[in-house]
């Protein structure tokens, strides 16, 4: 097998179980790909090849613990992993002491026999200021943010799976820009213990993969539940399509991606019905911004007040409004959030999932421009499960995805619809 790093996660795990591949060979293949490519892509914040190889050897010496036994994964660098410092894209922590513990999600993955390959690049505190990562499809372009390293590493075949987080659009948008699958589960499904907080009401741990089935399996492990094995046998899937409050902020390329996805889904036998979102969503985008800004200002209290000289100007400018925001304004935004969450379930009662563009367009032509979360922020605020599905290309011949959204708690159905749509878009 010449390039095991090209394998999907479940495919590689099946070969490991069958004795046709080892975790060590897979890890070494990923490390070789990193050696060849990452000086250009810049997806990794920290690597310890000897440690990863030793972990892989240990996994090869035991019986499989799960369907992803022996599979390496990347960890976004706001998430704790034992033996690695959690630098969070900030000079404040670049010389921090390596962690003595794992975040809950990382511990669950390791308990399932998976191997930490390293820490992936994040923007500063998972907000706006970009890191070193470039889009592997075109190095002059952005990989998105803030889970930039996770998306780029998976897209460039440097690792089959990676963990990201989303507060606005930081799993789904970089997945769209880099042409991979992103899955943001229902809010709170994957534990956040050991993850640097930005917004307690919005932060959601998610995953990146190169296919929907791998994403579903990995998310199950991080949640600590039996692995969800998807079936592509859909009986005439029913999608809703909505021009959300973000529609006018999306590019013509994003509009076209949405229309193309609808046409392909209908041609393959799906029902796609255009609907209007309820009035509860009218102020949703602005409410999400208020919640994130208010909570981020407080979550970063130590860094902003005790190490202000080591916080970027961009970050200070971004959240300074949070110090001036009245509690009553924040409470109003939380009430809007509650209204949107309550409205989403009955809205989708007659549909399997909602379909919308996954990003404002193709990746920006400036690596320091992480792009806008405007296409994703509403769904993050509702706590809904969202799957970013690749397969389309924009006018610049760069990836552009769509997102499949379900009501909270219906992640399996949402993933099943995404799996079906992924098969349609990839043809």
Q: Whose CA is closest to 160, among 1, 15, 27?
A: 27
Count other Cβ atoms within 10 Å, centred on residue 265. Answer: 22
CA distance 182 to 79: 17
Choosing from 146, 150, 201, 213, which is the catalytic residue?
146
Choosing from 29, 90, 105, 170, which is the catalytic residue?
170
Number of helices and strands in the chain (H, E): 14, 11
- List Cα–Cα distances, 343 to 74, 189, 232, 409, in angstroms: 35, 20, 29, 14
Residue 76 annotated to the active site: yes
Choosing from 76, 110, 196, 264, which is the catalytic residue?
76
Residue 146 annotated to the active site: yes
* Cβ pair 148, 42 in contact under 8 A: no
Q: Whose CA is closest to 387, among 166, 184, 174, 151?
A: 184
Two structure tokens written together for 416: 């099943």
Residue 170 annotated to the active site: yes
Q: Which H or E run contains 17?
A: helix 9-17
Q: Whose CA is closest to 263, among 397, 394, 425?
A: 425
Residues with catalytic roles: 76, 146, 170
């Amino acid at each position: 097998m010449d390039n095991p790093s090209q394998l999907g996660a479940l495919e590689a795990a099946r070969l490991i179980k069958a004795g046709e591949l080892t975790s060590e060979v897979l890890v070494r293949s990923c490390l070789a790909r990193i050696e060849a490519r990452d000086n250009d892509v810049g997806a990794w914040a920290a690597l310890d090849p000897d440690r990863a190889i030793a972990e892989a050897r240990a996994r090869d010496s035991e019986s499989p613990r799960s369907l992803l036994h022996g599979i390496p994964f990347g960890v976004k660098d706001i998430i704790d992993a034992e033996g690695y410092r959690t630098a969070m894209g900030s000079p404040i922590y670049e010389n921090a002491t390596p962690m003595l513990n794992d975040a809950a999600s990382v511990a669950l993955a390791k308990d399932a026999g998976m191997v930490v390959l390293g820490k992936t690049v994040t923007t500063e505190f998972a907000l706006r200021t970009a890191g070193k990562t470039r889009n592997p499809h075109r190095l002059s372009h952005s990989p998105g943010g803030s889970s930039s390293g996770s998306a780029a590493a998976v897209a460039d075949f440097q690792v089959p799976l990676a963990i990201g987080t989303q507060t606005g659009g930081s799993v789904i948008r970089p997945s769209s820009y880099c042409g991979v699958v992103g899955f943001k589960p229902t809010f709170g499904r994957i534990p956040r213990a050991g993850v640097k907080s930005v917004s307690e009401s919005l932060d959601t741990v998610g995953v990146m993969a190169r296919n929907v089935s791998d994403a579903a399996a990995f998310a199950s492990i991080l949640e600590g539940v039996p692995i969800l094995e998807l079936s592509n046998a859909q009986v005439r899937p029913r999608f809703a399509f909505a021009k959300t409050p973000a529609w006018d902020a999306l590019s013509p390329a994003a509009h076209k991606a949405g229309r193309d996805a609808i046409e392909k889904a209908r041609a393959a036998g799906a029902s796609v019905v255009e609907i209007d979102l309820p009035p509860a969503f009218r102020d949703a985008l602005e409410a999400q911004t208020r919640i994130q800004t208010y909570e981020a200002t407080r979550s970063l209290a130590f860094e902003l007040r005790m190490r202000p000289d080591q916080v970027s100007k961009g970050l200070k400018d971004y959240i300074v409004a949070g110090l001036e925001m009245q509690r009553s304004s924040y409470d109003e935004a939380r009430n809007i959030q509650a209204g949107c969450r309550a409205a989403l379930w009955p809205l989708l009662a007659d549909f399997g999932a909602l379909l919308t563009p996954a990003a404002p367009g193709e990746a920006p032509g400036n690596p320091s421009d992480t792009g806008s979360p405007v296409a994703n922020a509403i769904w993050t605020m509702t706590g809904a499960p969202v799957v970013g599905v690749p397969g389309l290309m924009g006018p610049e011949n760069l990836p552009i995805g769509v997102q499949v959204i379900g009501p909270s708690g219906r992640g399996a159905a949402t993933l099943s619809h995404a799996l079906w749509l992924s098969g349609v878009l990839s043809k």
